[in-house]
Amino acid sequence: IVMLALVEQNMGCMAVLGSCGVITDCSGTCKTKFGQDASGDCDRDGGVGTCVCGYSCPSPHKPHM
């Protein structure tokens, strides 16, 4: 299951990528997916844990007029 959660822009963005049993390098996977400034940790709240990434939110696109 891949879930994506966005928080307020000044707080950055967050994504839940999946199980740490499948994603063995959470930090590296987050950096690959969201850039070198991203951080990733395995939230071990239960079972093998969940890979959670924090990264800078992309700028919203302005509509063309």
Q: Where are the domains of the chain?
A: 3-55
List all residues 6 or more positions away from 44 whose beta carbon is below 8 Å from its beta carbon. Answer: 20
**Token output for 10:** 């000044």
d(CA 45, CA 48): 8
Quick one: pLDDT band at residue 61, thresholds 50, 70, 90? low
How confident is the model over 1-55, as pLDDT tens digits? 344 444 343 469 999 999 999 999 999 999 999 999 999 999 988 788 999 999 9
Maximum CA extent, the chain? 50
